[in-house]
Amino acid sequence: MNEKVVEMTCVVCPIGCDLKVTLDENGKFLSVTGNKCPKGAIYAKEEVTDPKRILPTSVKVIGGELPLVSVRTEKPIPKRLIFDAMKVIKSIHVNAPVKRGQVIIRNILNTKVNVIATRTVKENRKSP
């Protein structure tokens, strides 16, 4: 058996557990140690197969008290899709008011993950 051990830092939360992931000779996930919670195990497995990340960014708001509303993907999306997702996010806008949690893009790039607003943006009452 040619097992391989890969070291990585879990990025699921800011605790940042140091993980040791064991892979078989084909690079397939076998086991993980060092994680302080079950999420770390899922992370480790995904990280060696198809890494996923939450994407936080912002979307243009029309008629809001702020020019942008911050958004994020509700769940992690494949890392390889991040720049494609940014293209979609850059191409759209929303109208104020925006509520926190409001779905801004449904099922982005068919990932079954929504992009949601992460803050409230009220309408701008000052200017027309």
**Is it true that the peptide bond before 78 is cis, omega within 30 degrees of 0?**
no
**Residue 90 parent element (H or E):** helix 82-91
**Looking at beta carbons only, is 22 or 34 nearer to another protein?**
34
Token look-up 């079950």 returns 38
Phi/psi at 24 (nearest 5 deg)? -85, -175
Should residue 88 be labelled a site residue for another protein when binding is judged by CB under 8 A? no
Which of 80, 117, 110, 82 is closest to 96 using CA atoms? 117
Give the nearest distance from C-beta 61 to another protein in angstroms.
Answer: 9
- Among 23, 42, 72, 96, which residue interacts with another protein (rule: CB under 8 A)? 72
In angstroms, the CA 71 to CA 87 distance is 14
Should residue 5 be labelled a site residue for another protein when binding is judged by CB under 8 A? no
Should residue 120 be labelled a site residue for another protein when binding is judged by CB under 8 A? yes
**Looking at beta carbons only, is 1 or 77 nearer to another protein?**
77
- Footprint of another protein (CB under 8 A): 8-16, 18, 53-60, 66-68, 70, 72, 79, 82, 86, 90, 93, 100, 118-120
